[in-house]
Amino acid sequence: MERYLEILIKLIKKAEKKQEVPVACIILDKNGKIISKKINNRQNKYNVLGHAEVNAILKAEKKLKDWRLDSCTMIVSLCPCELCQQIIKEARIKEVYYLLNNPKNTIILNNMEKIKNRKYEKEYKSTLQRFFVDKR
């Protein structure tokens, strides 16, 4: 998991640099190979659906040539919002792991699990806080 968290942190920093909300998502195939990694792009693409999870799902579907991602696992930096959770459910993603809770979100999926890693949690939380402080 550590390797994937390193990649998430790099993606988060990329999103922040692009002035996007720093959220990143990785999708793995059944062998643990990364088949998709994406960040938010709502601001730069003027797209209400530009969530990292949605972007990653679309790329994975294209790569696998199938909308059913039932053998895939998702790792995301922030607990997915309700919209993303519904799309994850529709894509039939097997497991979802997230680094930080989002108190605004209701968890509706039973295949989601929080990653317990203080080091990356702390780093990501600090990035999110800095991003929103800078925006205000």
Question: Which of these is catalytic: 53, 82, 90, 113?
Answer: 53
**The token pair that represents 105 in the structure block:** 């979100």
Task: Mark whether 53 is an active-site residue.
Answer: yes
Are 109 and 96 in contact, with CB atoms under 8 Å apart? Answer: yes
Calpha distance 37→48 (Å, rounded)? 19
3-state helix, strand, coil in the chain (%, to 5): 45, 20, 35
**How many CB atoms sit inside 10 A of residue 126's CB?**
10
In single-letter form, the type of residue at position 102 comes to N
Calpha distance 111→93 (Å, rounded)? 9
The set of catalytic residues is 53
